[in-house]
């Protein structure tokens, strides 16, 4: 099973600041990594797929990068609606796995 | 508009069974793989199971293998999860989710149904 480790667990930032979230895989997943956003009490939403592609309707302030075992989700300038929990997920191998999540909270 | 509506959750005793359903609309159901993901209270996301568009291929997490079965009825645009031998650590919100562009990422989620396993 591929283990995805997200860091930091919590990121405390102010609106307008840049957020950098990390997801590290225990073995290569090539580019087959997605990022999801989950707001409190809501279902998750697909943000990025295959490491660097924005899903439909996702603002350009969200960007993804990386390959193999190291991936980054960047939010260039935090908007109030971006404070949420973010999860990465790999589809390289079964079983599918999610990271433990990074909570982006208001400082 | 894609819509996914889960049902069938509730309180069940350890060792009991439940069958979750996910009624879908707004897309051509038999063209997409479908997935169940769960989330224990206050915890992260856990993949449970995925079924191919035809239903001919299924995958299950080790934690539920031998106890849960995923299936689908393409004539009724409905996804199912049969859960047997339920344990306390199966307590979670169960989400059904639509596959994304032929991959095992998901791009639409239901609102979830809560399953509580307790005596």
pLDDT tens for residues B29-48? Answer: 999 999 999 999 999 999 99
Q: Which of residues 87-116 of B touch A (CB under 8 A)?
A: 95, 100-101, 103-107, 109-112
pLDDT at A18: 98
A20-48 mean pLDDT: 97
Show residues of chain A in contact with B59, CB under 8 Å: 94-96
Token pair 């009724």 in the structure block, residue: B76
Q: Which of A34, A52, A96, A101 to mutate to test the interface with B (most CBs of B within 10 A)?
A: A96
- Which structure tokens are listed for A16? 């307008």
pLDDT at A30: 97
A61-85 mean pLDDT: 98
Q: Which of residues 19-38 of B touch A (CB under 8 A)?
A: 35, 37
pLDDT at B62: 97
- Report the gap between the CA of A100 and the closest CA in chain B (Å): 6
- Asked if B78 and B22 count as a contact pair (C-beta separation under 8 A), the reply is yes
- Asked if B112 and B94 count as a contact pair (C-beta separation under 8 A), the reply is yes
Q: What does the alpha-carbon distance between residue A78 and residue A73 come to, in Å, rounded to a whole number? A: 13
pLDDT at B22: 98
pLDDT at A46: 98
pLDDT at A31: 97
Which residues in chain B show pLDDT less than 70?
Answer: none
């Amino acid at each position: 099973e591929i283990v995805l480790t997200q860091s930091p667990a919590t990121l405390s930032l102010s609106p307008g600041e840049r957020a950098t979230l990390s997801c590290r895989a225990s073995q290569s997943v090539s580019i087959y990594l997605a990022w999801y956003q989950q707001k409190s009490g809501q279902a998750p939403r697909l943000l990025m797929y295959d490491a660097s592609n924005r899903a439909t309707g996702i603002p350009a302030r969200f960007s993804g990068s990386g390959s193999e075992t190291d991936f980054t989700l960047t939010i260039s300038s935090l908007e109030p609606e971006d404070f949420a929990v973010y999860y990465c997920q790999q589809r390289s191998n079964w079983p599918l796995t999610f990271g433990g999540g990074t909570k982006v909270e208001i400082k | 508009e894609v819509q996914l509506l889960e049902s069938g959750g509730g309180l069940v005793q350890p060792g009991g069974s439940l069958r979750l359903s996910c009624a879908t609309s707004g897309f051509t159901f038999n063209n997409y793989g479908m997935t169940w993901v769960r989330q224990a209270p206050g915890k992260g996301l856990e993949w449970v199971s995925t079924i191919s568009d035809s239903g001919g291929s299924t995958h299950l997490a080790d934690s539920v293998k031998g106890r849960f079965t995923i299936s689908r009825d393409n004539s009724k645009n409905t996804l199912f999860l049969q859960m047997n031998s339920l344990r306390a650590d199966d307590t979670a919100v169960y989400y059904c989710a639509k596959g994304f562009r032929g991959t095992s990422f998901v791009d639409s989620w239901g609102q979830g149904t809560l399953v509580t396993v307790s005596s």
